[in-house]
Amino acid sequence: MMVETEGVIKFNLTFRTEKLGGVDIGELSAWRTVLKDLGLLGQTPGRYDGYGFGNISQRCAGGFVISGTQTGELDAVTLDDYAVCETWDLQRNAVDAKGTVKPSSESLSHASIYDVHESVTCALHAHSPDIWRNSVELGIAVTEESVAYGTPEMAKEVRRLMMDMDSPGIFSMGGHEDGIFTFGRSLAEAGQLMVHELVRARALI
């Protein structure tokens, strides 16, 4: 298992500080609360060296809105705790974004999902030891263990897996401890799939 530092932005970020407006995050933030209550997203001293974990996104006009980096400790969030990724380039490992907080370190993985499936409107990245450790038994696709999170290689690996997946879908990140992604045509699809797989995983324990 490779050693990694959670929550560190590894892509080339061009960031414009700007107060966001006109983006509806009501349902997205509601699902964030659900994931946080289940321990799938957050920030606690005893996990991942105290760094925040988990992030969520949904398509919006001009790109996608995504939770800001290291906002996991917040119990409630507003639009100020999100960023909008406007353009991205996997080959250049680059993201252009705006907001009052920088975008999640997993922004390129989210971008890869949106690039492959036009029907996908949202993506949820959670940290679940239960699902992650039982991914193979649960029949969940897994990225290569040698590929680290937040890198162009991970974004390309996500894209590779996505080419053979339907929506809604789920995959596990072999090189990113406890990392799980779900995506769907609606937040209900992606969120319910995450909870469903958590129940299946815990039934195995």
User: Is it the case that residue 6 has pLDDT exceeding 60?
Assistant: no
pLDDT confidence of residue 118:
92
- At residue 8 the predicted structure's pLDDT band, cuts being 50, 70 and 90, is low
The proportion of the chain whose per-residue pLDDT surpasses 90, expressed as a percent, equals 70
What domains can you pick out in the chain, each with its CATH number? Answer: 12-204 (3.40.225.10)
pLDDT confidence of residue 158:
85
User: Is it the case that residue 150 has pLDDT exceeding 80?
Assistant: no
Residue type for 179, please? Answer: G
pLDDT confidence of residue 7:
54
pLDDT digits (tens, 9 = 90+) for 15-27: 999 999 999 999 9
* Reported pTM: 0.92
Q: What value does the mean pLDDT take over residues 166-193? A: 95
Average pLDDT, the chain: 91
